Chain A
Amino acid sequence: MEGIVLALLGVALAVGLSGIGSAIGVGLVGESAAGLVTEDPDKFGQTLLLQALPMTQGIYGLLTGLVIMINLGIFTGEVASLTVTEGLSMLMASLPVALVGFLSAIAQGRAAAAGIGLIAKRPEEMGKAITFAVMVETFAVFSVLVSLLLLLFM
């Protein structure tokens, strides 16, 4: 039965850490965007798109957390009984998305906030500003991929 506590810790880390990362990233871009929109309100739409980019890590974390919860049978009312090893495995599976999600969301926030500066000067180059920030996404995708594969095929 102790295994379940470890599995729940996995849920908390996956959702929590990647969520914190996304919150910091989105907040940072928001600050930058607020600065630009103060001077140039017409750029609101463009900045909003950039601000949304670091949100995905939080979504990947949420997804991973939900998969663990489904595996545990939390939604069916019959919570599975887990050994410590089984619980620890789920905790380990949550770590890629928790750690990479946390840090990549902040890094993506910085890249996107720098992109705000780019569209301030060259609004026509918004695609490039987005591309730079999206590059960071690659690593968040890798991590959620590994987390989910571990949970589904283990």
Chain B
Amino acid sequence: MTLARDTSFAYAVGRIRALETRLLDRSKLERMIDAASADEAIKILAETDYGSAVAELAAVHDFEEILQREMALTLAELEKMSPQKDLIALMRLRYDVLNLKILLKAKYLQVKAELLLPLGTVPLSTLQAMVDEERFRDLPGPLRSALDRIMEEFPLTRDPQMIDLALDRVLFEQLMAEAARLQSPFLKGLFARQIDLINLKTFIRVKRMERDRDFFKKAVLPGGRLPLDRLISLFDEPLDALHGQLSRTDYATLIEEGVRGWMEKGSSALLEKLADDYITTYLQRGKRSAFGPEPLIGYLWAKEIEVKNIRLILVGKINKLSADAIRERLRDVYL
């Protein structure tokens, strides 16, 4: 089955165009950043589309609930308006994997499962039951076999990172396979870019952990636009070689600024921001297409970034971070 004809998205795109006008723009976010306190920032949020949800809010600290509900609503609406349901289900897959990672780590490391997001294709309670009983029969094939493998190997290695790596790998294999099945160069481009960004982050993380090349080889994901053997061969060279080699790709500024920020400040925050901005730039083509799935996927991403930005600002405000510190991490808006 291939992707539906581009004009079959006409209704959905018409709705998206109206919904886009209600996204928070940069000036609204700036006003929230400049607010005197978290309470003041919430008041500004109340003037927007989040108004009715904010009105029901008992305490500032519960804002996470609003954000989760907003994402759940967005996904449900997109699913309803999309001429192709499996397109949005595909975008939900990431949340299933995220939840599985949290649940598995909670199970093995005997900690409480926190930050679960009820946004995946499988309800949280079902996932929880699956992990408890170690039976993954109802999940799609590749994911199931990856989980079975984790169940076998984890007790031997006891390395929680292995869970992340194995699940990320199977997630992107699945996403790339779906993009190929739908014959969508746009989706393939999106997932390939996301794979590249994950690989670049892994590259630096593994280097900072001072692990060897073989470890990196196992951690890196196939299917990106950057050739894997090139990345792997760069691994034994100093970090400067990475931006030297990739200076002609469109990851150049991201690597230069992001990696420098990571090395100097010891925090990946700037790189994470630049990686998100990079995907935003790619998906902004959705603003210009009158048909096809691009506007839907673009809007979904715009909402994810919006929610991320609101969270950044409110957490910053609650922790009394300076406006500049918040602004530094603020993602570019889709608009």
Contacts and interface: CB of A to CB of B under 8 A. Distances in A.
Interface residues of B, number: 16
Contacts of B12: 35
B110 interface: no
A32 B18 contact: no
Interface of A: 28-29, 31-40, 43, 110, 113-114, 116-117, 120-121
Contact of A32 (B14, B20, B21, B81): B14
Nearest to A39: B18
B14 A116 contact: yes
**Which one of A29, A31, A40, A114 has the greatest number of beta carbons of chain B within 10 Å?**
A31
A51 B75 CA distance: 29
B291 interface: yes
B297 to A, nearest CB: 16
Contacts of B290: 32, 110, 113-114, 116-117
B21 A35 contact: no
Interface string B1-28: 0000001001111111111110000000
B10 A35 contact: yes
Given A110-B290, A117-B17, 10 more contacts: A31-B14, A32-B13, A33-B14, A35-B17, A38-B18, A39-B18, A43-B18, A110-B291, A120-B20, A120-B21
Interface string B222-263: 000000000000000000000000000000000000000000
Main secondary structure of the interface of A (DSSP, over half): helix
B283 to A, nearest CB: 16
Contacts of A38: 14-15, 18
Nearest to A111: B290
Contacts of A32: 10-11, 13-14, 290
5 contacts: A28-B10, A31-B7, A35-B18, A40-B18, A120-B18
Contacts of B19: 39
A113 B12 CA distance: 12
A113 B10 CA distance: 7
**Which one of B13, B15, B16, B18 has the greatest number of beta carbons of chain A within 10 Å?**
B18
A35 B291 contact: no
Interface string B281-307: 000000000110000000000000000
Contacts of A114: 290
A37 to B, nearest CB: 8
